[in-house]
Amino acid sequence: MAIAPDKPGTLHQFFEESVRKAPDSIALEYEGECISYGELNRRANKLAHYLRDTAGVVPDDRVAILVRHPPSVVIGMLAALKAGGAYVALDPDNPPAVTHRIIENTSPRALLVESSAAAGAAFFSGALFVTDVMSATLDTPDTDPAPLSTPTDLAYVIHTSGTTGTPKATAVEHHSIVKTLTWRNAYYGFGPDDTTLAMPRPSFDSSVADTFCALTSGARLLLPARDRITDRRYLIGLMERREVSHFLITPALYSRLLAGMSAQSTKALRSITIAGEWFTSSLVREHFSRLPDVKLLNEYGPSENSVCSTVHSLDASDPHVLIGKPIDHTEVFVVDEEGEPVEPGGTGELYLAGARLARGYLGDPELTEGSFFVPSSPRFGGNRVYRTGDIVRVHEDGNLQFVERRDQQVKIRGRRVELGDVAEALTKDDSVDHVVLLRRDITSATPRLVAFVVGPTASDVERLRATAQESLPDYMVPSAIIPVDAVPVTAHGKVDEAALAALYSDATSPAGPAPEPASPVESALLTIWQKIFAPLGVGLDDDFFELGGDSLSVMDLVADVEESLGVQLDNSDPYTGRTIRSLALVIENRQNSEVGKP
């Protein structure tokens, strides 16, 4: 693999090169609205001048973005960078308590918010800019602000789950992410003829590479509607109509999307990147059976090394899913428990080094020192390293294979989740003496977290669930909370996960007589729900989302209904018809209307 040339300067200067090369080319497209590179730059400049001159943003200051409208998020990112600061993309769908903690931890100089998300900013006392109200009245210059930030200043801060209940704020400098983008643009060959479909949310670290690879290569960034990111027909329709050439996606979402894709409907696709979670070779085989001419790449990398650290081009004949070899400006070290290097064929913990390491964790020097350090052993050459906590296998050819996490951290929907973070939220309730969390892998839906709580009774469960929903993002809320008298342990004194799994099965087994569907549609839906939620007992009046359903489960439901009943549901239908009985009425009405058509 050829070494990509170094790209000096800052992230926004990298973008401005694309503006100078082709100001009239389309940079962003959203719901039929197209914004050229020149216009995107001018809008970002006007806001950047405001942030610098009115809000007083200077290098290393943070600008938080709490906005739903996708083009406004991108404009806000660029404006924060151009003003000299660093952006912090927040998820407007998070509970206010989560947003509050992140903003307190980040201490932004300014907050960009839109009126629909203003409730999340009620406590903020700094400079506030309401994007959908104030943008139209800005009378600031639309020219590039004079550069203030340098390559070693902060570019952005990304938050991930933390063991203390406060999200970890990974602080990344310009030069680090610019190196990632420079390598990625060269490796994939991104250019003005490409269209990238932006799947990751801006608060997810993969969005940094996804968004800025497009905007620094002259490509078109196609922004989907936020509420339709799990709508398979919608996404495939975008790929077909807008000639999408590349997208980055988590394996959980891709496995559902792929079921509706074909080479005929996605002719412009040339590469797909999977990132964020471990997956099996069955997904790789399914990809190549449907899209034999589309490259499939597996990227691995924590936020702490500027998004991507290793890459592997997958093949249908691969016996294992590999995470590959290090990319430019990254060194990898695989060591055993004594810190000795692992020979080919062995497994050990992965350490990362090189010029793309993050500065550390914002506002947490103790955590930074524990994760980023210079090992005493001479084999590391005096380099600063990041201890990933990931156990990998070293293959004879130097390729790496992910094995497991060293600690309790897991991935849910591509997001890092520290189980201690979830336990911390639940133990805030006075009735809870102890919490143990178990991840349940269910092949037909997303992996789910189950919380076993010592102290509460069955009558406390709904209150605990409400507490979790107020304190945690939705992907971290346990799908089941099960009271137990004591946590079962093995003869060695460790938590007995097999016994917990049995308790989960007992607690979720159907109680009472089996449901009696009143129609063929209810019967078909019952079968689908039993598959999605196995081994949970399912009743005809149970709420889909209270059972643990989420946006990916909705994709499964919509696909299975189309396959078994021949009815195409909208992704919004399960949100209104939340029980088997109510959704059956929706489907039956649709069937009757189809029969009545001439």
Element (H, E) at 234: helix 232-241
Question: Which residues neighbour 259 within 8 Å (Cβ) at sequence distance 6 or greater?
Answer: 232, 559
Q: Does the residue 106 lie in any domain?
A: yes
Number of domains in the chain: 3
User: How far apart, in whole angstroms, are the C-alpha atoms of residue 163 and residue 421?
Assistant: 5
148 and 75 both lie in a single domain? yes
Q: For CA atoms 1, 387, 165, 468, give the dihedral sign.
A: positive
Determine the 3-state secondary structure of 415 from DSSP. Answer: strand
Q: Which of 176, 153, 145 is nearest to 78 (CA)?
A: 145
Give the H/E segment covering residue 588.
helix 580-595
Closest CA to 575 of 343, 94, 129, 230: 230
Range of the domain at 423: 409-508
Q: Rounded to whole angstroms, how far apart are CA atoms 182 and 188?
A: 10
Q: In 3D, which of 244, 253, 250, 188 has the Cα closest to residue 221?
A: 244
Nearest to 579 by CA among 534, 540, 529: 540
Pairing verdict, β 310-313 and 325-326: antiparallel
- In this structure, the answer to whether residues 463 and 503 fall within a common structural domain is yes
Taking each helix axis from N to C end, the angle separating 37-53 and 70-83, rounded to the nearest 10 degrees, works out to: 60
Judge if 21 and 161 occupy the same domain: yes
Instruction: Assign residue 32 a region (left: φ > 0; alpha: ψ between -120 and 50; beta: otherwise).
Output: left
Is 365 strand, coil or helix?
helix
Domain presence at residue 578? yes
Place of tokens 């979720």: 508
Q: Say yes or no: 574 and 448 in one domain.
A: no
CATH code assigned at 482? 3.30.300.30
Q: Helix 551-565 and helix 520-533: axis angle, to 10°?
A: 140
In a domain, 189, yes or no: no
Pairing of strands 271-275, 295-300: parallel
Residue 287: inside a domain: no
- Which two three-digit tokens encode residue 41? 């730059």
pLDDT confidence of residue 287: 95
Task: Assess contact for 49 and 177: CB atoms under 8 A.
Answer: no
Structure tokens at 251: 């394996």
Q: Other CB atoms closer than 10 Å to residue 154's CB: what's the count?
A: 23
Q: What is the mean pLDDT of each run of 10 residues along the chain (598 residues)?
A: 56 97 98 97 98 97 96 98 97 86 92 85 88 94 96 95 68 97 97 96 92 98 92 93 95 86 91 87 91 96 96 92 96 90 92 96 93 90 92 93 73 66 80 79 60 86 87 82 79 68 74 81 91 80 82 87 90 91 92 66
Tokens of 126: 């700094």
- Domain finish residue from 474, 508, 542: 508
Residue type, 176: S
CA proximity to 20, closest of 153, 169, 216, 264: 216
Bond prior to 517 in cis (omega within 30° of 0): no
Query: In what side-by-side order are the strands of the sheet with 325-326?
Result: 33-36, 26-30, 220-223, 195-197, 246-249, 271-275, 295-300, 310-313, 325-326
Please check whether residue 242 lies inside any domain of the structure: no
Same domain? For 89 and 141 the reply is yes
Q: How far apart are CA 412 and CA 10, in angstroms?
A: 32
Amino acid (1-letter code) at residue 361: Y
In whole angstroms, what is the distance from residue 175 CA to residue 149 CA?
A: 11
What pLDDT, on a 0 to 100 scale, did the predictor assign at position 452?
A: 87
Q: What six digits make up the tokens of 416?
A: 């890092």
CA–CA separation, 244 and 194 (whole Å): 7
Question: Pairing state of beta strands 168-173 and 154-160?
Answer: antiparallel
The DSSP H or E segment spanning 185 is: helix 174-188
Chain centroid to CA 529: how far?
A: 26
Nearest to 503 by CA among 530, 462, 535: 535
Do the beta carbons of residue 213 and residue 181 sit within 8 Å? yes
Question: Is residue 551 in a domain?
Answer: yes
Phi first, then psi: give them for residue 175, nearest 5 degrees. -60, -30
**CATH number for the domain that contains residue 573:** 1.10.1200.10
Q: What is the DSSP annotation of 3-60?
A: PPPP--S-HHHHHHHHHHH-TTSEEEEETTEEEEHHHHHHHHHHHHHHHHHTS---TT
- Look at residue 497 and tell me if it is in a domain: yes
Give the CATH number for residue 57: 3.40.50.980
Q: Give the domain-ending residue among 124, 147, 175.
A: 175
Same domain, 100 and 46: yes
Pairing of strands 195-197, 246-249: parallel
Q: How much is the pLDDT for 418?
A: 66
| Beta-ladder partners of 147 | none
Place of tokens 């591509």: 414
17 and 162 both lie in a single domain: yes
Q: How many degrees, rounded to 5, is the angle at CA 284 between CA 278 and CA 288?
A: 160
- Considering the domain architecture, whether residues 552 and 579 belong to the same structural domain is answered as yes
If 0-12 CB within 10 Å is exposed, 13-18 middle and 19+ buried, where does residue 403 land?
middle
Calpha distance 73→81 (Å, rounded): 13
Contact 184, 219 (CB under 8 A): no
What is the structure's pLDDT at 467?
86
Q: Do the beta carbons of residue 532 and residue 549 sit within 8 Å?
A: yes
Q: Are residues 504 and 544 in the same domain?
A: no
Do 469 and 434 share a structural domain? yes
Name the token pair of 383.
């380099």
State the pLDDT at residue 165: 52
pLDDT attached to residue 27: 98
Out of 127, 148, 175, a domain closes at 175
Q: Is 315 among the domain residues?
A: no
Query: Residue 394: beta bridge partners?
Result: 400
Question: Contact 88/81 with Cβ under 8 angstroms?
Answer: no
Report the SS3 class of residue 483.
strand
Same domain, 427 and 551: no
State whether 484 and 526 are in the same domain: no
| pLDDT score at 222 | 98
